[in-house]
Amino acid sequence: MPRRAVPRIVANWKMRGSTAAIDALVDMDRRAVTLPVALAICPPATLIAAARARLAAIAIGAQDVHGAPDGPFTGAISAGLAAEAGATFTIIGHVESRARTHPTPADLAAQIRTALSAGLDVLLCVGDVADLLACLPADTAFRRLSIAYEPPWAIGGADAAPIATISAMHDALRTALATLWGDAADDVPILYGGAVDAGGAAAILAAPQVDGVLIGRASLPAATFAALVDAATVSAAPLPLTELPA
């Protein structure tokens, strides 16, 4: 999807959710085609198949994948297993995943290559330009890549980064991508992640160079997610999601 075709709202469930939480999204999924945004969820790995079976319009992603295609890595999930379960993309490099596994830039590059080889698109989380350039393979298929700017201090915090900071960093990331791919860098969506809620989503999405948001605790329950989607789309959608007729 070319950037700015529609904004993206990606909901990272983290270690939360259930089949009941997936079922609560069925109505939203049915109505998602009426919205001027693209919706995606990243449930725990054990719920990917159930989400794929129940949801059609909402994209399903993995929260992380290992850098090896298979092997003796107890507790890990490979890109191939995530794809087989029904994921079409994966997050790589989330702040919380990095804190747990301490990947090197080479590790993250391996995850990107393995995910793309398995048929998954990649949503790469970075904290700044140096982080991006350190872990992004120059031969990455840019049309299957999205970037999420995640200031580490905002993850799990009370406040998102200031709009001016978000726009400036997104502009810097876009410029860095252009050093790799020239004008083709304009096709890479850049999202913002970190303390995004219903009160701030619309302003963030309206900021220059912002192509979407990666949300965490506002992902659940379904009513909270719907409120954020409503807030982000109220100026463009004919009716808010919570008021659409059944």
For residue 137, which phi and psi values (nearest 5 degrees)? Answer: -60, 135
Q: Cite the beta strand spans of the chain per DSSP E.
A: 8-12, 38-42, 59-62, 89-92, 121-126, 145-149, 190-193, 212-215
- Distances, alpha carbon 244 to alpha carbons 55, 89, 230, in Å: 18, 29, 11
CB 164 within 8 A of CB 208: no
> In the numeric block, which tokens belong to residue 2?
């070319």
> In the numeric block, which tokens belong to residue 96?
């919380």
CB 73 within 8 A of CB 52: no
Q: Cite the beta strand spans of 154-224 per DSSP E.
A: 190-193, 212-215
Q: What angle do CA 242, 24, 233 make, to 5 degrees?
A: 35
- Distances, alpha carbon 42 to alpha carbons 71, 123, 200, 209, in Å: 24, 11, 21, 23
Catalytic residues: 94, 150
